[in-house]
Amino acid sequence: MSFIDNLKRTGKNIAQKTSDVVEIQKLNLAISQEKEKVKKIYSQVGEEVYRQFILGNDLGFSDKCSEIAGYEAKIEELQNKIMNLKNTKKCGGCGAEISDDAAFCPKCGTKASS
């Protein structure tokens, strides 16, 4: 095989390899997108299992659901600290953040507890 032929063949191989790499990247991206869809559904299933747990229906994940309840309580505690710093409180009716000195919730009209 001549030097020129060899060079042409090598060039073609490099072009082929490059388009293969691009194709692999596209396929990996497509895989990632499908995995994200699966993850989203897992998340929805988990949220529904937790919602059922809160309603009193144990679907067999009570340990994990109790763990989530603990984290939710911690989140509420942290949110309360922020509201204390901002001189606001949570409306008992709709959950809106209202001023500490508001007598009624401006959103739902519920009488605010002092």
Closer Cβ to Zn ion, 28 or 99, answer by number:
99
Q: Applying CB under 5 A, does 46 fall inside the site for Zn ion?
A: no
Cβ count near 103 (within 10 Å): 9
**Applying CB under 5 A, which of residues 69, 83, 96, 102 lies at the interface with Zn ion?**
96
Three-state secondary-structure class, residue 113: coil
- Beta carbons of 95 and 110 less than 8 angstroms apart: no
User: Helical H runs in the chain?
Assistant: 3-54, 62-85
Q: Applying CB under 5 A, does 105 fall inside the site for Zn ion?
A: yes
Closer Cβ to Zn ion, 19 or 99, answer by number:
99
Give the span between the Cα atoms of 65 and 59, in whole angstroms: 10
Closer Cβ to Zn ion, 11 or 95, answer by number:
95
**Applying CB under 5 A, which of residues 94, 99, 100, 111 lies at the interface with Zn ion?**
94
Which residues bind to Zn ion, rule: CB under 5 A? 91, 93-94, 96, 105, 107-108, 110
